[in-house]
Structure 1
Amino acid sequence: MSDDPFALFDAWYAEARASEPNDSNAMALATVGADGQPSVRMVLLKGHGPDGFVFYTNRESRKAGQLAECPRVALLFHWKSLRRQIRIEGPVSLASDAESDAYFASRARDSQLGAWASDQSRPLDSRETFEARYQEVRARFEGGPVPRPPHWGGYRVTPERIEFWLDREFRLHERRQFLRAPGGGWTEGMLYP
Structure 2
Amino acid sequence: MLKFWRKFGLVMAGGSIQGFGMGIFLFPHAIPSGGAGGLAVLLNHFFYLNIGLALWLVNFSMLMLAMKYLGNRATLWTMMSMTVTSLAIYASQQTFNFVKGDVWIDLCLGSVFLGTGVGLLLREGVSNGGVGVIALIISNSRSILPGKPLFFINGLIFILTALIIKWEIIVQAILSQWISTILVDIICKMEFHQNYTIGWRKK
Between Structure 1 and Structure 2, the one with more strand by share is 1
Name which one, 1 or 2, has greater alpha-carbon Rg. 1
Comparing both chains, which one has the higher relative contact order based on Cα–Cα distances under 8 Å and sequence gaps of 6 or more?
A: 2
> Where on the TM-score scale, by shorter chain, does this alignment land: which range?
under 0.3
More helix by share: 2
TM-score normalized with structure 1 length: 0.26
Give the TM-score normalised by the residue count of structure 2.
Answer: 0.25
